[in-house]
């Protein structure tokens, strides 16, 4: 398996038995939910994606 680290442009070989870990820190936010009775008209309308 090859490991590529984009910011430092580090390319290294990982072989069976090698130990490595990855930690991703990311902010988790709770959005404000607004309930509405109907939605505004959009260009796509009922066409979907």
d(Cα 1, Cα 13) in Å, to the nearest integer? 6
- Coil, helix or strand at residue 5: strand
**Are 39 and 32 contacting, i.e. CB atoms less than 8 angstroms apart?**
no
Query: What's residue 10's pLDDT?
Result: 63
- Helix then strand then coil, in percent of the chain rounded to 5, is 5, 15, 80
Mean pLDDT by 10 residues, the chain (49 residues): 61 78 84 91 74
Q: Domain count of the chain?
A: 1
pTM of the entire predicted model: 0.27
d(Cα 45, Cα 9) in Å, to the nearest integer? 45
**Are 4 and 13 contacting, i.e. CB atoms less than 8 angstroms apart?**
no
- Domain span including residue 5: 1-49
């Amino acid at each position: 398996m090859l490991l590529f680290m984009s910011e430092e442009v580090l390319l290294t070989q990982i072989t069976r038995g090698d130990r490595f870990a990855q930690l991703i820190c990311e902010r988790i936010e709770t959005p404000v939910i607004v309930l509405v009775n109907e939605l505004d008209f959009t260009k796509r309308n009922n066409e979907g994606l």
